[in-house]
Structure 1
């Protein structure tokens, strides 16, 4: 991996794949990108906190305030959108 690759933000596909793998390990089931993790019973609100920590550590972002709602973690697609938005905001701020 080159220095440029380590500095470039993750793509939506990379995030989806990584989240799918993380969830597959934890829930021992395949998870579709648009599958509602809470309604399907695959994860609980307690597990949502594990998702917050995982995303913050994996993507070096801070999830605070209005982003800390279950809807942000309901699907792989929602989490991907959250990571992309927070990563872009972080880069735009030069942090």
Structure 2
């Protein structure tokens, strides 16, 4: 994931945590910043923004628990799509 895309993730999350600064590695759910409804919104946003489908096996909080985990997830999905083509 490039810096611009990482910035998009930070901005999206920042809007949903009322501008509270969240470190890239900070667990959004354990920190009480977001809830399960936000998880659904985040999944849909990731799919639309990065054109990365989330399959049923991808629906794991570990994939969206932090800014860094979202970036890693998108990178994994892109790599998997690239190597399977």
TM-score, scaled relative to structure 1: 0.80
TM-superposed deviation, 1:16: 2.2
Q: Could you say which structure has the larger radius of gyration?
A: 1
Aligned partners of 1:46, 1:17: CA distance in 2, in Å?
22
- Alignment gaps of 5+ in structure 1: 1-9
Q: Which residue of 1 aligns with 2:11?
A: 21
Of 37, 43, 62, the match for 1:52: 43
- Alignment gaps of 5+ in structure 2: none
Runs (4+) off by over 2 Å: 13-16, 91-94
TM-score, scaled relative to structure 2: 0.88
1:88 matches 2:79:
yes
Q: 1:71-90 CA distances to partner (integer Å, 9 max, x unpaired)?
A: 11111101100001111222
Given that residues 72 and 82 in structure 1 are in contact (C-alpha distance below 8 angstroms), is that contact kept between their aligned partners in structure 2?
yes
Q: Which residue of 2 aligns with 1:43?
A: 34
